[in-house]
Structure 1
Amino acid sequence: MPTGKVKWYDADKGFGFIDADEGEDVFLHANALPEGTTTIKNGTRVEYGMAQGRRGVQAMNVTVLEAPPSVQANRRERDRKPTEAMVVIVEDVMQLLDGVSNDLRRGHYPDKAKATKAAQVLRAVAADLEA
């Protein structure tokens, strides 16, 4: 069976093309995707049967051989701060929140600058933890 990589695929339109290892582009319709699959990422290695369609060769019975590596997952690991650095950051956030908590215990919200700083720091730490 021929193999290739998905050149592009548009789930909204329901079709795309495979860049065949033999060098030709092969039409890929949504009906040819594996059962339960509604979309496929560009760069996915696939194996497929071929049939002559009205406008040329098209893929049939596509099987996914290898999904492309996730750029987002690789980026997350690379950009993640070391745990030792995160310990210091979390401890600093705790001190910042203690100050906010004390203001709230006294019956008033912290001033605008303090509240803005706390919100920005919390968003940044949340992003670092999710990375």
Structure 2
Amino acid sequence: MPSGRVRWFDANKGYGFITGDDGKDVFLPSAALPAGVTTLRKGAKVEFSVADGRKGPQAMDVTLAAAAPSLVKATRPKPDDMAAIVEDLIKLLDSAGNGLRRRRYPSAAESRKLATLLRAVADNFDVQD
């Protein structure tokens, strides 16, 4: 059974391509994915069978051999560092809350800073395995 890595896959379009271990590209329709799988990450290792399609080789009966490693998960801060970041963020949010209680929104610069920090912290928590 041939194997390779997902070159790209777009769930909205319903297809993608696998680069086989032999270096050749194989069309990957969503119908070839295992039951319950709706998308594949770039770089995921797969095994598949090949059939001749209208426009060339096409993958069939795809099985996931190994998921692609999560770059976000590999680069996120250590838990101790993240705890300090969250504590600092809580202080900033508390300060913003106190200002709002006094009927004063943060300035535009403060709002942008707070929004940027919130997104960055959220990104570190939102890891997809």
Aligned 1:116-131 pairs, distance under 5 A: 116-117=106-107, 120=111, 122-127=114-119, 129-130=121-122, 131=124
1: CA distance, partners of 2:92 / 2:13: 50
Distance 1:117 1:65, change over 3 A: same
- Are residue 48 (structure 1) and residue 48 (structure 2) matched? yes
Structure 1 CA distance for aligned equivalents of residues 21 and 121 of structure 2? 41
Cα separation, 1, equivalents of 2:38 and 2:92: 46
Residue in 1 that maps onto 2:127? none
Q: What amino acid is aligned across from residue 33 of structure 1 in structure 2?
A: L
The equivalent residue for 1:106 is: none
Percent of aligned positions that are identical: 35
- Assess, with a 3 A threshold, how the Cα gap between structure 1 residues 54 and 100 changes in structure 2: closer, same or farther: closer
Q: Residues 36 and 125 of structure 1: is their aligned pair in 2 closer, same or farther, counting only changes over 3 Å?
A: same
Q: 1:7 & 1:23 partners in 2: Cα distance?
A: 11
Gaps of 5+ in 2: 125-129
* Mapped partners of 1:89, 1:31: distance in 2: 45
Q: Kindly name which structure, 1 or 2, has the bigger radius of gyration based on alpha carbons.
A: 1
Deviation at 1:128, TM superposition (A): 5.0
Q: How many residues align?
A: 120
For structure 1, list consecutive stretches of 5 or more residues without a partner in the other structure.
Answer: 104-108
Residue type of the alignment partner of 1:90: I
User: How large is the RMSD of aligned CA atoms in angstroms?
Assistant: 3.0
- Contact 2:96/2:106, CA 8 A, preserved across alignment: no
SS of the equivalent of 1:116 reads coil
Q: What is the SS of the residue equivalent to 1:40?
A: coil
Counterparts of 1:66-81 in structure 2, within 5 Å, are 66-75=66-75, 77-78=76-77
Q: Please state how far the C-alpha of 1:89 moved relative to its aligned partner.
A: 4.9
- Cα distance change on mapping 1:56 and 1:82 into 2, 3 Å: closer
